[in-house]
Chains A and B, each alone.
Chain A
Amino acid sequence: MTTREFDGIQLERVREFVWEIPREGDMRVPARVLASEALLEEIGEDRTLQQLKNAAHLPGIAGHAICMPDGHQGYGFPVGGVGATDTETGCISPGSVGYDINCGVRMMKTNLVYDDIRGHEEELVEALFANVPSGLGGGGVVDGDRATVEAVLERGVDWALEAGWAVEDDLEHCEDEGYRPDADPSAVSQKAKDRGKNQLGSLGSGNHFLEVQRVTDVYRDDVADAYGLEPDQVVVLIHCGSRGLGHQTCTDYLRKIEKRHGDLLAQLPDKELAAAPAGSELADQYYGAMCACINFAWVNRQVIMHRVRQVFERVFDRSWESMEMQLLYDVAHNIAKKEVHRVDGEERELYVHRKGATRAFPAGHPEVPAAYRDVGQPIIIPGSMGAGSYVLRGGEASMDLTFGSTAHGAGRLMSRTQAKNEFWGETVQDELREGDHVYVKAQSGATVAEEAPGVYKDVDEVVRVSDALGIGDRVARTYPVCNIKG
């Protein structure tokens, strides 16, 4: 048997791209890493594997604690982590969802081709930067008040439809039609609502961005047809989350759970994994609050997307409808959802924690929107500014291997502090523009340096592993044209 060891943690090769850390100590299940040799080398460099072992201590965790091919060290639960816990005998863990609840990605299609926007890149990037708030304190597209926040938390994208920020077609192409019925706005604190009301329709900063892209490759013609993607087509990718409202909600429940369920916390190796026992008052409250934050994040991305339509109208002097600017899909990266999965031959309802991981349901699954049920759920994998992104579809093996999940991006390789030492933002911008025809505009050069292409893993390799395992199959590849970030 092939084995590898990193900092005393031994992994056994189960089969190609599947590595297992055997159960030991108080781990409740073994842990698995889905990676090529090259990706495993990178994953083994920081504390990812120890954090994955720690995640395997969560009460009621089923199957394995799993690290996706883009996994890296986070706080508590690793980024790229999937952990499914029983909704009756297990727990729910806010830190294992992450602070940015429903951080995610959506892709909007257009009927424009690359030649239609060449020569307009500078104007487009400036107009997008001026009209889509980013960074700290930039406000939001919507000037929200208390009633607006309550309605968004309660109704999700249906609020945006009524307010003129969406059309019916947008709802039909969003997970859960942009609405979590389990949302309980009363479980979201006033502090969280205070932080969110001025941030509705804003990117934030860090790795969040908005990118105009062109489709460069199509790998599965039938699925690409069903998705409405073809070579040279212009698309728009939006990556952001639930902003301060979601961050505060995670913080609030982490502290509440720490105070009330200290006995459970004492069994866990990392305080950031703090979990509420299934069936407890706090588990139910957190689930309701988290679902409300999911609604908020969907509306955040929806409002930004609709603002992008308006920007395109101005830049290209045509209606957005005539440019067929339609939502392809919206995927969540940081989320815990009640889902039914088969574990050891038995169907169980589980809280599937995906922290930096994407749901990847295959063709035929009843929770895939009707528009895509015959081909599988679209998955959007954003890459770096220099490497492009991918569209995948949920693979047949995902339900058996990963609780219906795959990777969420390229995965960071280098710390932000090191990135700022190694890259200079203005140089990165110049090189991307001169060498690759990618136009970048950011609030600061430091942000560009922190997000330079060199700080990320090889997204091609991440997607190769996902495709080979059959958890998320390659459909198309896109390459950036314009990028704005906070």
Chain B
Amino acid sequence: MTYELRPHTADVAVAATGADLGETFAAVADGLAAATCDDIPETGERFSLSVRAEGLEALLFDYLDRLIYERDVRGVLPVANEATVREDDGEWVVEASARGVPFADVTARDVKAVTYSEMRIEEREKPRSPGDGESGLSRATGEAGADRTEPGDGRPEADDGGWEAYVVLDV
């Protein structure tokens, strides 16, 4: 899983990739953390959350919104995100966890909100690996560390199939 912070005149955009939807969602969430804080320490306890929505874009929107809410209410920065995404009875569900770094341990900027503006979630051209099921059930391990790269003009560097997402954050 990778993410890049992309230029946007007023705000910040995150472009992310993952082998599956869960990895991709978690990579966007790690991008959200990176837009908030440059140096992330190894402190904090993990917490879990679950979000359900009517579609994939709505699910990504609500997932990131929930992380921002948890950030403000718990007083922690959610990092090292892990997520699984599945379809359930016509809706989409993300089961996720994050490590909540106490605000006291970081110097962080406020990201106000997630936006739908220019949002994309797309399956990349190369077929997904045989291990991935048809349901989209997947698992990502955020602790492995995301690869933060400098802004580029093209798509994220890795191009080995899987999923990609693009989200503009209001800062």
Contacts and interface: CB of A to CB of B under 8 A. Distances in A.
Classify chain B's interface size. Answer: 35 or more
Contact of A136 (B57, B108, B119): B108
Contacts of A414: 9
A418 B7 contact: yes
B113 A446 contact: no
Given A135-B108, A136-B103, A248-B69, A271 B119 contact: yes
B38 interface: yes
Interface in B1-52: 5-12, 36, 38
Contacts of A72: 9-10
Contacts of A79: 10
A73 B117 CA distance: 11
B86 to A, nearest CB: 21
Given A75-B168, A205-B109, A272 B10 contact: no
A417 B7 contact: yes
A271 B116 contact: yes
Contact of B9 (A46, A250, A270): A46
Contacts of A446: 38, 109
Interface string B95-137: 0000000011011111011111111000000000000000000
Interface string B58-85: 1001100100110111010100000000
A416 B116 contact: no
A412 interface: yes
Contacts of A259: 54
B22 to A, nearest CB: 22
Classify chain A's interface size. Answer: 35 or more
A195 B72 CA distance: 6
Contacts, number: 128
B113 A444 contact: no
Contacts of B112: 99-100, 204, 206, 244, 247
Nearest to A258: B58
B60 to A, nearest CB: 12
A135 B171 CA distance: 12
Interface of B: 5-12, 36, 38, 54, 57-58, 61-62, 65, 68-69, 71-73, 75, 77, 103-104, 106-110, 112-119, 150-151, 168, 170-171
28 contacts: A72-B9, A72-B10, A73-B10, A74-B9, A99-B113, A99-B115, A99-B170, A135-B109, A135-B110, A136-B36, A136-B106, A195-B69, A198-B72, A206-B171, A244-B68, A248-B69, A251-B65, A251-B114, A254-B116, A255-B62, A274-B116, A414-B9, A415-B12, A416-B8, A416-B11, A421-B150, A444-B107, A486-B110
